[in-house]
Structure 1
Amino acid sequence: MTDAALQIAVVGHTNTGKTSLLRTLTRETGFGVVSARSASTRDVAGVALLCDGAPMLSLFDTPGLEDASGVAEALAALPDATDPVAGIERFLAGDHGQGRWEQEAKVLRQMLRSDAALYVIDAREPVQAKHRDELRLLNACGRPLMPVLNFVASDEADVERWRSQLARMGLHVQSSFDTVVYDAVAEQALFDKLATLLEPHRAGLQRLTQSRTAEREALTLAACRAVAVMLVEVAGLRHEVPLDADPATATEGLRHQVRASEQRCVDAVLALFQFDLQAYHPPELPLTEGRWTLDPLDPEALRAFGIRTGSAAATGGAAGFAVDAALGGMSLGAATALGAGLGAAWSGAQTFGRPWLDRLRGHQVLVADPSTLALLAARQVALLRALLRRGHAAEGPVSTRNAQGWPGIALRDAVLRARHSGSVAEASGTRAPNEADVSAVTARLITVLGDTARESSAHSD
Structure 2
Amino acid sequence: MTKPLTLAVVGHTNVGKTSLLRTLTRDVGFGEVSHRPSTTRHVEGARLSVDGEPLLELYDTPGLEDAIALLDYLERLDRPGERLDGPARVARFLDGSEARQRFEQEAKVLRQLLASDAGLYVIDAREPVLAKYRDELSVLASCGKPLLPVLNFVSSPQHREPEWRDALARLGLHALVRFDSVAPPEDGERRLYESLALLLEHSRGALQRLITDQEAQREARKHSALRLIAELLIDCAACRRSVASEKTVEQQAINQLREAVRQREQRCVEALLKLYGFRPQDAAASDLPLLDGRWGDDLFNPETLKQLGVRVGSGIAAGAAAGAGVDLMVGGLTLGAAALAGAIAGGALQTARSYGSRLLGKLKGQRELTVDDSVLRLLALRQRQLLHALNARGHAAVDSIQVATPQDKTWREGKLPEPLNKARAYPQWSSLNPHPKLSQAERQEQIEWLAEQI
TM-score by length of 1: 0.85
CA separation of 1:354 and 1:215: change in aligned 2, threshold 3 A: closer
Corresponding letter in the other structure for 2:182:
V
Q: How far off its partner does 1:132 sit?
A: 0.7
Q: How far off its partner does 1:96 sit?
A: 1.9
DSSP-derived class of the 2:232 partner: helix
Corresponding residue for residue 18 of structure 2: 19
Q: How far off its partner does 1:46 sit?
A: 0.5
Q: Which runs of 5+ in 2 are unaligned?
A: 329-333
Determine whether 1:418 maps to 2:422. Answer: yes
* Fraction of identical pairs, as percent: 43
Work out which of the residue numbers 420, 425, 450 in structure 2 matches 1:441: 450
Report 1:361-400 matches (<5 A).
362-400=365-403
Aligned partners of 1:177 and 1:186 also within 8 Å: yes
Corresponding residue for residue 149 of structure 1: 151
Corresponding letter in the other structure for 2:436:
T
Q: How far off its partner does 1:39 sit?
A: 1.0
1:346 and 1:104 map into 2 onto residues whose CA distance is 76
1:57 and 1:276 map into 2 onto residues whose CA distance is 25
CA separation of 1:339 and 1:257: change in aligned 2, threshold 3 A: farther
Aligned partners of 2:120 and 2:150 also within 8 Å: yes
CA separation of 1:343 and 1:277: change in aligned 2, threshold 3 A: farther
Q: How far off its partner does 1:290 sit?
A: 3.4
Corresponding residue for residue 327 of structure 1: none
After TM superposition, the structure 1 stretch with the greater mean CA deviation from structure 2, 421-430 or 30-39, is: 421-430
CA separation of 1:249 and 1:320: change in aligned 2, threshold 3 A: farther
Corresponding residue for residue 132 of structure 1: 134
Corresponding letter in the other structure for 1:383:
L
After TM superposition, the structure 1 stretch with the greater mean CA deviation from structure 2, 5-14 or 47-56, is: 47-56
CA separation of 1:292 and 1:198: change in aligned 2, threshold 3 A: same
1:344 and 1:178 map into 2 onto residues whose CA distance is 51
For residues 130-152 of structure 1, give each alpha carbon's deviation from its aligned partner in whole angstroms, at most 9, with x where no partner exists. 11111111111010000000000
DSSP-derived class of the 2:448 partner: helix
DSSP-derived class of the 1:58 partner: strand
Aligned partners of 2:325 and 2:340 also within 8 Å: no
Question: What is the number of residues matched between the two proteins?
Answer: 434
Corresponding letter in the other structure for 2:118:
A
CA separation of 1:321 and 1:31: change in aligned 2, threshold 3 A: farther
Corresponding letter in the other structure for 2:72:
E
Determine whether 1:251 maps to 2:254. Answer: yes
Corresponding residue for residue 294 of structure 2: 291
Q: How far off its partner does 1:316 sit?
A: 6.8
Aligned partners of 2:152 and 2:180 also within 8 Å: yes
DSSP-derived class of the 2:129 partner: coil
2:48 and 2:188 map into 1 onto residues whose CA distance is 17
For residues 308-344 of structure 1, give each alpha carbon's deviation from its aligned partner in whole angstroms, at most 9, with x where no partner exists. 32553686799998349xxxxxxxxxx9779989998
Report 1:37-436 matches (<5 A).
37-78=36-77, 79=79, 80-96=82-98, 99-245=101-247, 248-310=251-313, 312=316, 322-323=326-327, 350-353=349-352, 355-357=354-356, 362-403=365-406, 406-407=410-411, 412-420=416-424, 422=426, 424-425=428-429, 430-432=436-438, 434-436=443-445
Q: How far off its partner does 1:282 sit?
A: 4.2
Corresponding letter in the other structure for 2:190:
Q
2:73 and 2:101 map into 1 onto residues whose CA distance is 13
Query: What RMSD in Å do the two structures reach over aligned CA positions?
Result: 3.2
DSSP-derived class of the 1:154 partner: coil
DSSP-derived class of the 1:191 partner: helix
Q: How far off its partner does 1:54 sit?
A: 2.5
DSSP-derived class of the 1:240 partner: strand
After TM superposition, the structure 1 stretch with the greater mean CA deviation from structure 2, 434-443 or 403-412, is: 403-412
Corresponding residue for residue 36 of structure 1: 35
After TM superposition, the structure 1 stretch with the greater mean CA deviation from structure 2, 123-132 or 348-357, is: 348-357
DSSP-derived class of the 1:220 partner: helix
Q: How far off its partner does 1:95 sit?
A: 0.9
Corresponding letter in the other structure for 1:116:
A
After TM superposition, the structure 1 stretch with the greater mean CA deviation from structure 2, 357-366 or 257-266, is: 357-366
CA separation of 1:30 and 1:263: change in aligned 2, threshold 3 A: same
CA separation of 1:288 and 1:8: change in aligned 2, threshold 3 A: farther
After TM superposition, the structure 1 stretch with the greater mean CA deviation from structure 2, 73-82 or 184-193, is: 73-82
Q: How far off its partner does 1:296 sit?
A: 1.7
CA separation of 1:362 and 1:338: change in aligned 2, threshold 3 A: closer
Corresponding letter in the other structure for 2:162:
E
1:119 and 1:341 map into 2 onto residues whose CA distance is 66
1:411 and 1:105 map into 2 onto residues whose CA distance is 65
Corresponding letter in the other structure for 1:6:
L
2:284 and 2:384 map into 1 onto residues whose CA distance is 17
For residues 169-209 of structure 1, give each alpha carbon's deviation from its aligned partner in whole angstroms, at most 9, with x where no partner exists. 11111000001112220121001101110000001000011
Q: How far off its partner does 1:376 sit?
A: 0.4
Q: Which runs of 5+ in 1 are unaligned?
A: 325-334, 446-461
Q: How far off its partner does 1:55 sit?
A: 1.6
Q: How far off its partner does 1:364 sit?
A: 2.6
2:355 and 2:124 map into 1 onto residues whose CA distance is 63
Aligned partners of 2:285 and 2:295 also within 8 Å: no
CA separation of 1:97 and 1:301: change in aligned 2, threshold 3 A: same
Aligned partners of 1:381 and 1:407 also within 8 Å: no
DSSP-derived class of the 1:403 partner: coil
Between Structure 1 and Structure 2, the one with more helix by share is 1
